[in-house]
Structure 1
Amino acid sequence: MTDLAPDAGYGKRNRKLKTALIQHKALTLEGLSERLFGLLFTGLVYPQIWEDPTVDMAAMQIRPEHHIVTIGSGGCNMLAYLSAAPERIDVVDLNPHHVALNRLKLAAFRHLPGHADIIRFLARHDLASNVRAYDLFIEPKLDSDTRKYWNRRGLTGQRRIRVLGKNIYRTGLLGRFIGLGHLLARLHGVDPSELANARSMREQRQFFDERLAPLFDRPAIRWITSRKSSLFGLGIPPQQFDELASLSAEKSLAGVLRQRLEKLCCHFPLKENYFAWQAFARRYPMPHEGELPDYLQAGRHETIRNNAERVHVHHASFTELLAKKPAGSVDRYVLLDAQDWMNDRQLNDLWSEITRTSAEGAVVIFRTAAEASILEGRVSQALLGQWHYDAEQSQALNLKDRSAIYGGFHIYRKAA
């Protein structure tokens, strides 16, 4: 669990992430946009992952002998996968803040006394006892770099770990973006948090149709959503913006965002969709209000706790990690939406390593901002021809993804 890349100091400038993001020269509009996005992404971005792990696990069908490689992000997905007790999970992330968060969550499962303590630490807010729990149970067991990260003091003199005594899900780039979205809506007379009062899907639909949907016709919001930088907080890099904007004659994402928000708001019962709680109430539901993420369910706690040492967190790129692995050694690959950021060379390098390291029956899953898979015509046929695209299940599971952020969910299976 404490694997560290040689340059994984949490306080250093994230050169690996910068290298992955920058594709154009600095003195161009594209280059400036990429550098602004990269600057924003050097801090914590996702306190919670925004890909539905239930959909992932349905696609992967994890077995005890499986070796999984996944991107870390907020860490919720790797903990959900761990509940299936695979043999090994390698977590990679280019953002050192995500590396520190993943390690903290793993340490919490390993060292906090019980399930109720995990719920207080990761699912509740405004509890100063969370900081005391960290000091007593977790901090002494962390590796030195992760300990330094969470103990580091900011400009106010407070340690980073204090965020767990407040509401970590309101921090990070995405948390602050959601906060700005709430502020913009309130300036137009709408309080998104009122969705939490809905008691049926009919009331959820009514709230969306009458209160939220009209916002996307407001000139100010249409102008804002036509600017690439306005959506960096949602984790949409310039490359993804261009792909999504191509779907609109106005080159604005207002229509796309309205459609995605409609799915999040209306397609699933609120009590079953913790993503909607985070988006609208900016917190997780209480027991009488709804369900917590899969990895926080009581029935999964012991399995995750007992197998936490099977997870190894790396400050590295996906391709970089795979290059160090033997041929035929990986069973499941989880790429999140990382390929949307890649150029053709990076895509082919990645799939070359995926194909080399893939075991018999291997499965690759990923998401895309737009609906279609981005691989056709970009990854060489010599590589892609060794994989089968499961279009039917991809579409079926995409409809079940409760986070509603992405346009497409994709499953590639190693050809026999």
Structure 2
Amino acid sequence: MGHVIDRAVVNHEALSREGLLERAFAFAFRGLVYAQIWEDPVVDIEALAITPQSHVVTIASGGCNVLSYLTANPARITAVDLNTAHIALNCLKQVAAVSLPDYTHFRRFFGDADSAENIAAYRTYIRPYLDETSRRYWEGRDMVGRRRIGMFRSGAYKRGLLGGFIGAAHLVAKLYRIDPRVLLEARNMEEQRRIFEEKLAPVFNRKFVRWLTDQPASLFGLGIPPAQYESLAGDEKMAAVLRRRLEKLACDHDLKSNYFAWQAFGRAYGRHQDAPLPPYLEERHYDAVRSRTGRVDIRHANMTDWLATQADESVDRYVLLDAQDWMSNAQLDALWTQITRCARPGARVLFRTAAEPSLLPGRLSPALLDRWTYHAAESLDFTRADRSSIYGGVHLYSLEG
């Protein structure tokens, strides 16, 4: 897998500063990065306008959104990813949705994700139906010798590159006697604002934090490669950019409906009965998700390469996450050549960017870009509505005619 990820991420000479950073990121990205995906599936479902005829092709990542799209009842979903850990996690979720005996088991496994009962459930209900490659992954050991399936006993959302980053951020905050969990005590959005301004915002003024966030490698844990770091920072200090993004996460959406805030500030989903959860984990969607998981096809592949094998006009919904922020102009042209060839009339493409504007104008070949309509006003609305608050822009394009 290593050379495939390198091909997707590395665009500079090996001994250049940019090349060294890109190779370091590619190495970090070979393991589990996202135990939970950080794009809002509710926004995705609205923007994509999924119908019962839709064929959705998406980058798999942590799998939360793949299963959440099933609540919109598409005809089929193809989930593509280069990362073997993400493929194994998607396969685990797909099998678990069908083989675990009830919602209580499913919620405990992927919602709480920190019980010894999950390991027993894995052995009894999931393992017999898991493909051999995924089974080897979960029963294999990580870099420190722990069996990977054990993350569902010790707290899955504290694991992975992003889980480690959030844990490190909590540690830095506590060095300044700040506990990020204090935000979760807010009773309303007014209190959320007050706690952020009084308790959390001041940490970004600390000299060490400003220095640390000026190092591109410090944000590898967010899944941000060097090229994306530059576009995210622009002409500003990264500490100022991160402060604004955290402010949006902490203040712009009610904690009662924002599970991303619970993950960022509490490192887990809430345990109370009405705790916000991804759509696939909500009890009201359990039967629908369980009955439709057979519509998901999980592929270990590069998105461009996989699309090149598909028939003309065979896809009408695409989700690219933020992968284009990594790409060179040539890679963008190659990807959109296949997207355009495979797209049915009226197809929609949704993606995120670290910076606010769409990255396609001025980079994608005009012959390709002119085929697509950019929905500027709707994209701004989707950006504001995205509860994860990490990205600068959520962008929607459609193929007319």
8 Å CA contact 1:348, 1:380 repeated in 2: yes
2:49 corresponds to: 61
Determine if contact 2:79/2:299 at 8 Å carries over to the other structure.
Answer: yes
Return the letter of the residue paired with 1:337.
D
Task: Decide which moves more: 405-414 or 302-311.
Answer: 302-311
2:198 aligns with one of 210, 217, 220: 210
Identify if the C-alpha distance between structure 1 residues 154 and 356 changes in structure 2 by more than 3 Å, giving closer, same or farther. closer
Structure 1 residues 398 and 156, CA gap change in structure 2 (3 angstroms): closer
For residue 83 of structure 1, give the secondary structure of its aligned residue in structure 2.
Answer: helix
Q: Deviations over 1:145-171 (max 9, x none)?
A: 111111113576642111111211000
**Secondary structure in 2 matching 1:207:** helix
Given candidates 235, 248, 255, the residue that maps to 1:247 is 235
Q: Does 1:406 find its partner at 2:391?
A: yes
Match of 1:51 in 2: 39
- Structure number with higher helix proportion: 2
1:5-64 deviations in whole A, cap 9, x for unaligned? xxxxxxxx5221111111111111010010111111111000000000000000011111
Q: Given that residues 114 and 156 in structure 2 are in contact (C-alpha distance below 8 angstroms), is that contact kept between their aligned partners in structure 1?
A: no
Q: Which amino acid aligns with 1:91?
A: A
2:339 corresponding residue in structure 1: 354
When structure 1 is superposed on structure 2, of 405-414 and 283-292 the one drifting more is 283-292
Specify the SS of the correspondent of 1:69: strand
SS at match of 2:91: helix
CA distance in 1, matches of 2:293, 2:177: 46
Q: How many angstroms does 1:288 deviate by?
A: 4.3
From 161, 167, 170, the counterpart of 1:179: 167
Aligned residue for 1:150? 138
Distance 1:127 1:370, change over 3 A: same
Q: Following the alignment from structure 1 to structure 2, what is the Cα–Cα distance between the partners of residues 168 and 116?
A: 17
Secondary structure of the structure 1 residue equivalent to 2:385: coil
Rounded to whole Å, the distance in 1 between the matches of 2:366 and 2:77 is 29
Asked whether the 8 Å contact 2:228–2:354 carries over to 1, the reply is yes
Matched residues in 1 for 2:39 and 2:59: separation? Answer: 11
Aligned counterpart, 2:184: 196
Pairwise CA distance, 1:211: 1.0
Match of 2:350 in 1: 365
**Structure 2 gap ranges (5+):** none
1:43 & 1:125 partners in 2: Cα distance?
Answer: 19
- Specify the alignment match of 1:232 in structure 2: 220
Q: Distance in 2 between matches of 1:381 and 1:80?
A: 34
Counterparts of 2:117 and 2:74, CA distance in 1: 33
TM-score by structure 1 length?
0.95
Is residue 389 of structure 1 aligned with residue 374 of structure 2? yes
Indicate which of 12, 19, 39 corresponds to 2:7. Answer: 19
Matched ranges for 1:16-415 at <5 A: 16-154=4-142, 158-248=146-236, 252-288=237-273, 290-415=275-400
Distance 1:310 1:236, change over 3 A: same
Q: Check conservation: 1:14, 1:95, Cα contact below 8 A.
A: no
Distance 2:395 2:324 in 1: 12
Residue type of the alignment partner of 1:58? E
Q: Deviations over 1:253-281 (max 9, x none)?
A: 11110000000000111111000000001
SS in 1 for 2:271: coil
Separation in 1 of the partners of 2:394 and 2:66? 18
- Cα deviation for residue 234 of structure 1 reads 1.0
Q: CA deviation at 1:86?
A: 1.1
Residue type of the partner of 1:92? Answer: V
Work out whether residues 270 and 290 of structure 1, in 8 Å CA contact, stay in contact via their aligned partners in 2.
Answer: no
What's the counterpart of residue 10 of structure 1? none
Return the alpha-carbon distance in structure 1 between the equivalents of residues 287 and 191 of structure 2.
37
Structure 2: distance between partners of 1:182 and 1:224: 14
Structure-2 separation of matches of 1:101 and 1:352: 30
> Displaced runs of 4+ in structure 1, greater than 4 A?
154-158
**Contact 1:182-1:192 within 8 A present in 2 as well:** yes
Q: Comparing 338-347 with 377-386, which one deviates more in the overlay?
A: 377-386
Measure the CA separation in 2 of the matches of 1:178 and 1:157: 22
Q: Is the 1:14–1:96 contact (alpha carbons within 8 Å) kept by the matching residues of 2?
A: no
Distance 1:154 1:50, change over 3 A: closer
What is the rounded CA distance, in whole Å, between the counterparts of 1:141 and 1:196 in structure 2?
38
Q: What TM-score comes out, normalization by structure 2 length?
A: 0.98
Q: CA RMSD in A?
A: 1.1
Q: What per-residue deviation string (whole Å, max 9, x for no partner) do you get for residues 359-411 of structure 1?
A: 01100000000000000011111111110000011101110100000000000
Does the 8 Å contact 2:81/2:302 carry over to 1? yes
Alignment-mate amino acid for residue 96 of structure 1: T
Aligned length: 401
